[in-house]
Structure 1
Amino acid sequence: MAAVPLLFGYHPVREALRAGRRKIQTVYLAQGKGSGRRQEIAELAGQAGTQVQWIAASELSDLVGHSRHQDVAARTSAYPISSLEEILTTAAVSNAPWVLLLDQVVDPQNFGAIVRTAHCAGMHGVVVPKDRSAPPTPAASKASAGALEHMRIAYVTNLVIAIEAIKQKGFWIGGADRDGGLCVFDTDLKGPLALVIGGEEKGIRPLVRKHCDFTVAIPQMGPVGSLNASAAAAVIIYEAFRQRR
């Protein structure tokens, strides 16, 4: 079995310690002055009974493989993948359950940013296809500012089959379609809802779009074709959040 890459960065390691979803074997902290954040991580690790090693920054860079670690890293278990059933069970306790589906979002920066938005808006989970999707890597966790450590993520074999299973639980499926659809600001996004955001290049695939109950578009004024996936997701998720408050 391949070794799990080290989690790196202040926010990912802090949130992994706070979430308690991973087993964290060792936290590595760079020696040096101005260590307020590092001291916070050390205290959280101590509360969790996790070993802490203070090492030279150069040694930490060697361990992680680069210098973008913000003086913090951790050796952890693999990211805890959820099942679709677990996400729907979690959502079912809410009066207004909502989940996010990502159709072939492959860029880890976009993936992390979208997960961060979904977590901040209180969505109950993210569902993605196993093929042509960004995995929950340390880079994705860093892009999410650690939100990935709290969010339930399910990887499914077939997104269309997952959509039909979600429909059976009483959810409406709304897809983001940059080429058409209802204006997102004029669309009712309350009630049980599954939002579908497409990949960076082609948006949601035709078969996935066919299984949506409705599609929404973001109005634009400029000549540029569309917002990128993470920006579009933020607009649509927070319009739904506004309506559901």
Structure 2
Amino acid sequence: MSDTTQIYGIRAVIEAIKAGEPLDKVFIQKGLKGPLSRELEDLLRRSGIPTSYVPLQKINKLTQNNHQGVVGTISPVSFLSLEELTDQVMAQKKDPLFLLLDGISDVRNFGAIIRTAECSGVDGIIIPKKGSAPITGDTVKTSAGAVFRIPIAKTDHIKDAVFYLKASGISIVAATEKTNHLLYDVDLKGPTGIIMGAEDTGISPSILKEADQLAKLPLLGEISSLNVSVACGVFLYEAVRQRVL
């Protein structure tokens, strides 16, 4: 947590929210009671800031300071809104490439994906406000600093991003084994958004239904799936191959 700014103490976190500080996540000790804790929880609900209720031991691991059962973290990077990212990229690129991450929860996978996305020319990454891995020191390290070089937007739901991108003329390709279509048969040369799903459950069914195309990788061994960061790399570099050659 040393690479992520911390705010600790109930009153301090409340004032940070009221001041508009870009809190990435707030950890609250389970069973915390009192008027201040209720005020904090109300603010968190209204602001949509991701919140985790955890044991005291977890809070103590996050900080040795007088935390009063509450620790907030501020990401080392700034996030754009979905509209800001899309409008910014579409004004600059004819055939942009977006990457949408539906619930990637492991910070190292997240960092590896960001690194590959930057190297492969992705114009922007879109993640949900809730259920996504935070950007921690491990994320920054695994990304080799790429997290500071590629714009990242947060949206309430990935489905919202799918609708918005499609309305902007972006073709949505979902990476899933639930299809007979191989990645290599999908056209990735035009304006494209590629969706990668969570490590354990993949892309949610409601989002799959909204994708323009579904695509899978051929798996020739006995293991039924690839690590999501590896699969993401294959998808992105197929887009590079099609766009460069």
- The TM-score normalised by the length of structure 2 is 0.68
Q: Does 1:186 align with 2:185?
A: yes
Which letter maps to 2:139? A
Offset from partner CA, 1:38-80 (integer Å, 9 cap, x none): xxxxxxxxxxxxxxxxxxxxxxxxxxx9xxxxxxxxxx98421
Q: 1:181: Cα distance to partner?
A: 4.1
**Other-structure match for 2:96:** 97
How many aligned positions are there? Answer: 176
Q: 1:5: Cα distance to partner?
A: 3.6
**Other-structure match for 2:77:** 79
**Any unmatched runs of 5+ in structure 2?**
5-62, 64-73
Retained in 2: the 8 A contact 1:90–1:124? no
Retained in 2: the 8 A contact 1:178–1:203? no
Retained in 1: the 8 A contact 2:127–2:155? yes
**Other-structure match for 2:160:** 161
CA RMSD, 1 decimal: 1.9
Moved over 3 A (4+): none
**Other-structure match for 1:151:** 150
Q: Identity, % of aligned pairs?
A: 38
CA–CA distance in structure 1, aligned partners of residues 218 and 181 of structure 2: 10
Task: Give the secondary-structure state (helix, strand or coil) at the position aligned to 1:179.
Answer: coil
CA–CA distance in structure 2, aligned partners of residues 105 and 158 of structure 1: 13
| The 10-residue stretch of structure 1 (164-173 or 87-96) with the greater mean CA deviation from structure 2 | 87-96
**Other-structure match for 2:235:** 236
Compared with structure 1, are the counterparts of its residues 123 and 77 closer, same or farther at alpha carbon in structure 2 (3 Å cutoff)? Answer: closer
CA–CA distance in structure 2, aligned partners of residues 83 and 173 of structure 1: 19
- The TM-score normalised by the length of structure 1 is 0.68
**Other-structure match for 1:88:** 86
Retained in 2: the 8 A contact 1:181–1:214? no
**Other-structure match for 1:28:** none
CA–CA distance in structure 1, aligned partners of residues 117 and 176 of structure 2: 19
